[in-house]
Structure 1
Amino acid sequence: MASPTPASPNDGYLLDNARPEAGTRFDALSELFDPSTFRHIEDLGIAPGWRCWEVGAGGPSVVTWLADRVGPTGRVLATDIDTSWASETSGGAVEVLRHDVGRDEPPEGGGFDLVHARLVLVHVTDRERALRTMADSLRPGGWLLVEDADPALQPLICLDEYGPEQALANKLRSGFRTLLASRGADLGYGRKLPRLLREAGLTGVNADAYFPITSPACNILEAATVRHVRDGLVAAGLATDEEIERHLANIASGRLDLSTSPMISAWGRRP
C-alpha cells in the first residue's frame, strides 16, 4: 500500500479531530445518528465473520458496534486522516489505519462485505475517487452504505424562525455553511448519492433521509460546532463575538428548537 499523502495546509478539514470540541461533537452525532446507521446496516444483513471497512471513522461508536456484530471471526478496518481516537477501539477484530480515502490507494486486502462512510465524502475534495475506491474494495455481493448531509436541501437550523433568537441561529448557520463551502465541501452532495452509487456500478440502490428537528443532542452539537468554528466565523466577518456569545446563551436557555441538515443514506451492492 502506498504511503498516505500529506494534506495541504490550505485544504484542511474545517471540523478537524484535533480540536477539543471534537469529542463532544462525536458524542452528539452518535446519539443523533447511530440508531439510523445501525438500522441500515442490520437491514443489509451484517453477520459474524463479515469484513467491514469504516471510512473516516471519527469517533468510536460505529466501529465498536461493527466489531460486536462481526465477532472474533470478522474484521473491522477503521480508517481516518486523524486516528487520535483509536485507543478506544483498537484490538480484537478492529484494525486502525491512517488513510485518506480521497488521496491514498485502497487498503490492502479488499474484499469487504460492507464499506460504510458517514459525514465523510461531503468534505473530501476528490469525492469521485473516494467513492470509486470504496466501491472497488467490495467483494462481489458486498454492500456500500454512504451517509452524508445535504445542508443545501434544508439550510436552516431553526425551522420555525419566529423571533430574533431563531433568526440569529439561522444567520450563524448560514455563516457555517459559507465556511464549509470555502473548504471545498459540496453542500448539495447528499441528494446525489443514489445516482453516484449507480454510476459506480452498484445495483439495488436505495436511499432515504433522516434528520431530527429538536433534541438535547442537537443543542450539544450546535454549541460544540459554533465553538469549534467561531474564530473562522469572526475572521471572515460572518459573525461577531457578541453574536456568538448571545447564540450560545440562547442555546443554553433551552428555548431554541434546533434541527440538523438531512442525513441522506444510500446503499447499493456490487454485482
Structure 2
Amino acid sequence: MTGSTPTSDTPAGPAGRDTPIDHGYLLDNARSEAGIRFDALSELFDPVTFRHVEALGIAPGWKCWEVGAGGPSVVTWLADRVGGTGRVLATDIDTSWASGAAGDVVEVRRHDVGRDDPPVTGYDFVHARLVLVHVADRERALRSMVSALRPGGWLLLEDADPASQPLICLDEYGPEQVLANRLRTGFRSLLATRGADLSYGRRLPRLLRESGLTDVTADAYFPITSPACDVLEAATVRHIRAQLVSAGLATDEEIDRHLDNVTSGRLDLATAPLVSARGRRPTWW
C-alpha cells in the first residue's frame, strides 16, 4: 500500500478487494525474529528516544511507565537514569523479551494498553514507541496514558508514518530496488488489514494537544541506509514470509532473491519516519 491509509473497517486489499481488518498483531513477539527486530530497532531509534527523554530532565526518583516495552533497552536505560529511588514499570501483552530487565527498580507486567486501565497513576514520565500504530483502540490507549500522568508529568509518543514515506529503497534505480519496494508495499498492505494506521505518526502533535497536554513539540527521523536497516528488513521479511506468499503479494523465489540482495549489502534500505511527539500534563489539571 502506498500513499494512503484506509480509515474504514474494510480497507482495500492488495487486489482491490475489500479485506476485513484482522486486529491480530502481524509482528508478534513469539517468533525468534522478534528479538532480532528489537535489537535492530534499538540500534536505529534508541539514540532518538534517549535524546528526547534527556531533554525532559529525567532525574533520580522519577516514576516511569514504558508501554509496549518489547525488548529491554529503553527500560534498562530509564532504570539507570532514575536510580534506586525511582521506579520503572514495563508493560506489554507479551513480556518475554523484557522480563530480563526486572529488578529492584524495574517491574515487568503483562498489560494491554488498548483494553486495560492504567496499572498505576501519578507517573512523571510515560513513553510508547512503535506501539499505538498497531493498537486497535488507539483512542483508549492514549487516554489511558494521559490519565496516568501526574500534574506536570510528560508523555512521549513515538510512532511511524509509513504513508508519508512508503519506499524502503529511496533510490529506485534497478530491479533489486523495485522488488524491495514492492515487497515493502505488500508488508504495509498486511499491516493495514490488521488495523494498523499507516499515517498515525503525523497526527501525534494534534492528538496530544486535543488530549489536553501542553508544551507539545515533535520531530521526525529516519535513516536512509544503515547496517541495522538491513538486519531489520531481513528479520521482518522472514517473519512475515508465509503471509506475503499466502496473500499473493510475493512468491518464495522473489523473497529468496530479495533476502539475498539484503544480506549481500547491495541495497540502501530506509525506514518509515519515526515521529517523536511530547507533551506535558498541566499542573492545574
SS at match of 1:152: helix
Q: Deviations over 1:36-74 (max 9, x none)?
A: 000000001100000000000000000000000000000
Aligned to 1:105: 117
In the alignment, which of 156, 176, 193 is matched to residue 145 of structure 1? 156
Unaligned runs of 5+ in 1: 1-9
Unaligned runs of 5+ in 2: 1-21
In the alignment, which of 2, 17, 20 is matched to residue 32 of structure 2? 20
Matched, 1:252 2:263: yes
Matched, 1:155 2:166: yes
SS at match of 2:162: coil
Aligned to 1:79: 91
In the alignment, which of 54, 59, 71 is matched to residue 47 of structure 1? 59
In the alignment, which of 239, 244, 250 is matched to residue 228 of structure 1? 239
Q: Deviations over 1:163-197 (max 9, x none)?
A: 00000000000000000000000000000000000
Q: Deviations over 1:220-245 (max 9, x none)?
A: 00000000001000010000000000
Could you tell me which amino acid in structure 1 is paired with residue 77 of structure 2?
W
Alpha-carbon distance in structure 2 between the residues aligned to 1:146 and 1:27 = 20
Contact 2:99 2:108 in 1 (8 A): no
Alpha-carbon distance in structure 1 between the residues aligned to 2:48 and 2:214 = 22
State the shift of 1:11 in Å.
2.5
Aligned to 1:36: 48
In the alignment, which of 58, 69, 84 is matched to residue 57 of structure 1? 69
Aligned to 1:214: 225
Contact 2:69 2:98 in 1 (8 A): no
Q: Deviations over 1:9-39 (max 9, x none)?
A: x522111110010000000000000000000
Deviating more after overlay: 152-161 vs 99-108: 99-108
Could you tell me which amino acid in structure 2 is paired with residue 223 of structure 1?
A
Alpha-carbon distance in structure 1 between the residues aligned to 2:244 and 2:113 = 28
Task: Extract structure 1 runs of 4+ deviating beyond 3 A.
Answer: none
Aligned to 1:70: 82
Could you tell me which amino acid in structure 2 is paired with residue 248 of structure 1?
L
Alpha-carbon distance in structure 2 between the residues aligned to 1:244 and 1:255 = 15
Q: May I ask how many residue pairs the two structures share in their alignment?
A: 261
In the alignment, which of 168, 172, 175 is matched to residue 179 of structure 2? 168
State the shift of 1:105 in Å.
1.1
Aligned to 1:261: 272
User: TM-score scaled by structure 2?
Assistant: 0.91
In the alignment, which of 236, 239, 256 is matched to residue 250 of structure 2? 239
Alpha-carbon distance in structure 2 between the residues aligned to 1:120 and 1:65 = 19
State the shift of 1:252 in Å.
1.2
